Structure 1
Amino acid sequence: MSRRRKPDWLKMQPPSGREFTGIKQTLRDHDLNTVCEEANCPNLGECWSGKNSESGGTATFMLMGDQCTRNCGFCDVDTGGGQPLDPDEPANVASAVAEIGLDYVVLTSVDRDDLEGQGAAHFAQTIREIKQRDPSILVEVLIPDFRGEEDLIRKIIEAEPDVIAHNVETVERLQQPVRDPRAGYEQSLAVLEQVERESDIYTKTSIMLGVGEYDHEVYQTLSDLREADVDVVTLGQYLQPSRSHLNVATYVHPAKFETWRRVAEEELDFLYCASGPMVRSSYKAGELFVDAVLRDGKTVEQARREARESVAASD
């Protein structure tokens, strides 16, 4: 089957610029992976070029190797596992953060079902290393589901990041084939509910559109997430990484994404919703919102407005 032709609103400029080159070199020097590269993120050029950040670029560090034990239909990260964890990685990430000069850091990881503890302690140690170097740095983590094991999720909570994200990815009906069979809708909701129940940490999740969902299913998913007290949601267009991945069912128009933003914020009362074709889980708009609320003490409405204006200025 031939791949669908992308509409004009999905065309991106190739990454370039001094900040982009500098961040890439720093990551290589510290032998670190980023989800930006491994997952072929379409915003890599924007984020690494630092268009929206006075401190320069940003990057989402991917912990625990570049091979995932799961095989999701949408994801471009290699499937594998079995690699030993690098005990120096937490300190190396903290060093790279300082060298790049970030004041907002995003950490994620591959799934490591092959490890005892699934790497939760390693993840938590990376958070602590960054915070110990500079407590003013805001740390957002995008965590696996850790198979729903509450003790492992609690390790992340106890490391005290500023935001804990976990992606539900799609509507309940499409969890498979979109996600690996070891993942699941109720399990992901339970992860987010635990964070809300056991901490005051902001929670965040992401939904891909264009994989065959219906509008009423998107609305139900948003409603379920608010029932779980999730604070921030992002919605973006699924883009097929290769012919061997899940096909794109439809390219959703930007106006539809704006409709979902209004539903999320104005009807369902999420603190913030970043919604657009190129929005991804670790997206500048979400970071800008959280930074404005936590660091600058802005009201939710002020933070929403400033995040939207900043992103619009870069388009």
Structure 2
Amino acid sequence: MVVKPEWLRVKAPQWERVGSVKDILRDLQLNTVCEEASCPNIGECFQAGTATFLIMGPACTRACPYCDIDFEKQPKALDPTEPERLAEAVRRLKLNHVVITSVNRDDLPDGGASQFDRCIQQVRLLSPGTTIEVLIPDMCGNWQALEAILAANPEVLNHNTETIPRLYKRVRPQGKYDRSLELLQKTRQLAPWVYSKSGIMVGLGETDAEVRAVMEDLRRVDCDILTIGQYLQPSAKHLGVVEFVTPEQFDAWREYGASVGFLQVVSSPLTRSSYHAEEVRALMAAYPRLPAKTALI
């Protein structure tokens, strides 16, 4: 058994603030990946008044053995009121930056692209000053669906690579490493004004050289932002942790990421895809892009 080290302990949150966020989510009947995926940072994020919204869920059509989101429930039809309820939550929480993600919906012809589009539009309507990040599935390689999401003009398009190629069959059996890279490459080609982002988990048996190779692959498709975090086993039925990676190794990956050209690398044991995602606003100010209406496709 691998013993969890001291550096993975999180501070107890102020439950008064956490409770107020939960009240809004319950009132508006919204799901968050913070809760559904058992994120270790839920207290910190809820205390700060933010959350990563999980749309079209909580049932997922894939059964990734690392993920705590339910894949045994039958996915439901899309709720036409969800975009309005999500936008109202963003307004009530006064979010400067919002992350919208989803379960995999391989049962839908467009993978749920139309729902992402509606959610973005509604947030723009109620909170025009809020920057929007979407964390999307691979859409089964449906690049028309990707184009539909990008046409709604999110500031950030995030798609997680999750792990190294050698571990894909075990960690992400229904995913394809090359398809994930192609999605990020298509994002740059279709919408050069959008900041592209990806993330990987470590502690599943990868080597330092393999992690660096993934970082290099991501830069070859011009990915802007990378997150690297420690995998934590949600339950005994999920994949086990092979290794708890040291903070020093995370620091080394951050430095390497800067050397190969990422605009931002967030790398630490507790980093998750949307952890401190609002920091992208400072990045956008430092590295401005052409607005959608004038960018060349």
> Shorter-normalised TM-score: what interval?
over 0.9
Query: Does 2:187 match 1:189?
Result: no
Gaps of at least 5 residues in structure 1 are 51-56, 301-315
Give the one of 15, 32, 36 matched to 2:34. Answer: 36
Which residue is 1:49 aligned to? 47
Give the one of 190, 198, 208 matched to 1:198. Answer: 190
Q: CA deviation at 1:102?
A: 0.8
Structure 2 CA distance for aligned equivalents of residues 173 and 81 of structure 1: 31
Give the one of 202, 227, 232 matched to 2:225. Answer: 232
Which residue is 1:21 aligned to? 19
CA RMSD of aligned residues (A): 1.3
Residue type at the aligned position of 1:78: D
Q: CA deviation at 1:187?
A: 0.5
* Partner SS state of residue 125, structure 1: helix
Contact residue 35 and residue 60 of structure 1 kept, 8 A: yes
Structure 1 CA distance for aligned equivalents of residues 283 and 257 of structure 2: 18
Q: CA deviation at 1:299?
A: 6.0
Which residue is 1:287 aligned to? 278
Contact residue 64 and residue 174 of structure 2 kept, 8 A: no
- TM-score, normalised to structure 2, is 0.94
Contact residue 148 and residue 187 of structure 1 kept, 8 A: yes
Which residue is 2:5 aligned to? 7
Structure 2 CA distance for aligned equivalents of residues 299 and 78 of structure 1: 38
Residue type at the aligned position of 1:287: E
Query: Does 2:100 match 1:102?
Result: no
Contact residue 60 and residue 75 of structure 2 kept, 8 A: no
Residue type at the aligned position of 2:222: D
* Partner SS state of residue 121, structure 1: helix
The structure 1 segments of at least 4 consecutive aligned residues displaced by more than 4 Å after TM superposition are none
Q: CA deviation at 1:66?
A: 0.5
Q: Deviations over 1:202-221 (max 9, x none)?
A: 00000111001011111110
Contact residue 139 and residue 163 of structure 1 kept, 8 A: yes
Residue type at the aligned position of 1:62: L
Query: Does 2:65 match 1:73?
Result: yes
Structure 1 CA distance for aligned equivalents of residues 83 and 287 of structure 2: 33
Gaps of at least 5 residues in structure 2 are 289-297
Residue type at the aligned position of 1:139: I
Identity %: 44
Contact residue 57 and residue 75 of structure 2 kept, 8 A: no
Structure 2 CA distance for aligned equivalents of residues 258 and 97 of structure 1: 33
Query: Does 2:261 match 1:269?
Result: yes
Contact residue 81 and residue 112 of structure 1 kept, 8 A: no
Query: Does 2:56 match 1:64?
Result: yes
Contact residue 110 and residue 142 of structure 2 kept, 8 A: no
Residue type at the aligned position of 1:291: R
Give the paired residue count: 286
Q: Deviations over 1:196-250 (max 9, x none)?
A: 1111100000011100101111111000000000000010000000111011010
Structure 2 CA distance for aligned equivalents of residues 177 and 126 of structure 1: 33
- TM-score, normalised to structure 1, is 0.88
Residue type at the aligned position of 1:279: T
Q: Matches of residues 127-206 of structure 1 in structure 2 within 5 Å?
A: 127-179=120-172, 181-199=173-191, 200-206=193-199
Contact residue 147 and residue 182 of structure 1 kept, 8 A: no
Q: 1:103 to 1:116 in 2, by over 3 A?
A: same
